A and B are shown apart, each in its own frame.
Chain A
Amino acid sequence: MTCQDIKEKFPDYLIGDLSQEEKAQMQNHIAACPSCRKELESLSAIWTKLGVLPEVQPETTLRTRFYTMLEDYKNDLGEEKPKTHLLEQIKTWFRPVWTGHPAFQLSFSLLFLFVGLIAGYFITGSRGQPAEISDLRQEVQSMRQTLAVSLLDQPSASERLRGVNLSVNTEKPDSGLIEALLNTLNTDSNINVRLAAVDALYLFYDFPLVKEGIAQTLSTQSSPLVQVALIDLIVNVRERRAIESLKNLIQTKTLHPDVKLYAELGLQKIGM
């Protein structure tokens, strides 16, 4: 073998990619050729010295930025689905007035009466008595909540969905409504109603009752879709108290592998 042939194999020698036979050929050659030996020695020395440069860990912001970007990308993908028009949504709330139980018709009549009273109050230009207006407003809110709670208790899944939708528009939900929503999340037989309940509870997450309920419910849910929705909720609100329940969920043997991965990613995000 010529010096040229041997030198061409130097790069393979450096990364340890030579066969036993090639290695022996090289050793024989450099034993007899001082020039090749010197060159290989200096190449090896530099190659080894390159190892003194340590691997540097990036700042944690890199990870945060990546997950934010991934989340945004996922949301953008989700937004491509058609959205329900606002007007359509409002129509669906009022559908019980025409088709539902007389109790709903009465409730809605009262609701409209209060709305009418407030509107009339403003139109006639009455001044003063702000306490009365706020009382009326509260009563409207409370009517809405009562209606939502009663809808959540209906045998028809679509009625219950309406109940969830109505509760979303409540400004200050009372504990009764939150309990009803949590109960729906835990016991409702219909997965769509349960998913809607998760979304509704997301809006009220700053209520202590919701935080507790969410952490507890994770272990009782069996549907991967609901589990993923709950993990999303917990991660989005950075609910540290739910970390234990997430860890327990990951340990569950029957857990769907995708949900497991999702829960693990969620844990990492909360930990950041």
Chain B
Amino acid sequence: MVSAMTDIQMMEDVRDGKVERLAVLFERHHVPLFNFFLRLTGSSNISEDLVQDVFYRILNYRHTYKGQSKFTTWMYQIARNTHIDYLRKKKEELPLDKQWNEALCTELSPDEKLEQGQDAILMREALAKLPLKKREVLILSRYQNLKYKEIAELLGCQIGTVKAHVHRAIKDLGKIYFELSGGTVS
């Protein structure tokens, strides 16, 4: 049965020429991937473009898939590269390391603000103020269901470093949230 096939088997089929199987992987992963980009960039339009770009790259680099690590780890690796390339294109005049520390700008229309609860708005604003590198590691561990080991593989660093980053990111986010709400965290 197709539905019982793992992501790895599917991607191996795509690599070996059954490219139509990418549709199954798309159906399984495009929503989390879209939300990953949405939390990184704050823009749905940009996030949709980036998701499209990731699947385009998967097709073009399908020959390089080795099947050693989880498909999602490989996919988020491509997703990160896609995002970095997008930042490069967006602000070629700014050095990349400075962009990483730049906070993103999220603007909500009054309707959107009404739709979401006050908590969600505050948290979105706080997350947006967190420097990109910290935000990324936090999003990967909190929302994308990746284990610290997988994030370490993805970022090319030690698992201890990932945990330290997550710890630091939550602490900083707590401070920002506290300042924005003007009250207590819990």
Contacts and interface: CB of A to CB of B under 8 A. Distances in A.
A77 B19 contact: yes
Nearest to B173: A46
A41 B35 contact: no
A15 B141 contact: yes
A66 B20 contact: no
Contact of B44 (A55, A58, A77): A58
Contacts of B163: 8, 11-12
Contacts of A17: 147-148
Given A46-B174, A46-B185, A62-B51, A70 B22 contact: yes
A52 interface: yes
B141 A73 contact: no
B78 interface: no
A225 interface: no
B38 A47 contact: no
B23 interface: yes
A262 B167 CA distance: 46
5 contacts: A45-B185, A52-B120, A67-B23, A69-B55, A70-B19
Given A11-B167, A49-B177, 8 more contacts: A11-B163, A12-B163, A41-B186, A42-B186, A46-B173, A52-B123, A53-B120, A73-B59
- Of A50, A65, A67, A70, the most chain B CB neighbours within 10 A belong to A50
Interface string B94-115: 0000000000000000000000
B80 interface: no
Interface in A23-57: 41-43, 45-47, 49-50, 52-57
A78 B163 CA distance: 47
Contacts of A56: 34-35, 38, 44
A119 interface: no
Contacts of A45: 174, 185-186
B39 interface: yes
Given A7-B167, A69-B52, A77-B19, A55 B31 contact: yes
Given A42-B185, A261-B2, A62 B48 contact: yes
A58 B31 contact: yes
B56 A69 contact: yes
A53 B171 CA distance: 18
Given A12-B163, A42-B186, A261 B174 contact: no
Contacts, number: 122
Interface in A241-264: 257-258, 260-262
Chain A facing B: main interface SS: helix
Contacts of A59: 44, 48
Nearest to A269: B23
Given A11-B148, A56-B38, A70-B59, A261 B24 contact: yes
Interface of B: 1-2, 17-24, 26, 30-32, 34-35, 38-39, 44, 47-48, 51-52, 55-56, 59, 116-117, 119-120, 123-124, 127, 138, 141-143, 147-148, 160, 163-164, 166-167, 170-171, 173-174, 177, 185-186
- Of B23, B51, B147, the most chain A CB neighbours within 10 A belong to B23
A253 to B, nearest CB: 13
Contacts of B23: 66-67, 70, 265
Contacts of A14: 166, 170
A62 B51 CA distance: 8
Contacts of B21: 261
Nearest to A65: B52
Given A43-B174, A58-B48, A61-B48, A53 B123 contact: yes
A14 B137 CA distance: 14
A50 B174 contact: no
Contacts of A265: 20, 23
Contacts of A77: 17, 19
B34 A58 contact: yes
A101 interface: no
A53 B160 CA distance: 27
A61 B47 CA distance: 12
Given A57-B31, A62-B48, A10 B19 contact: no
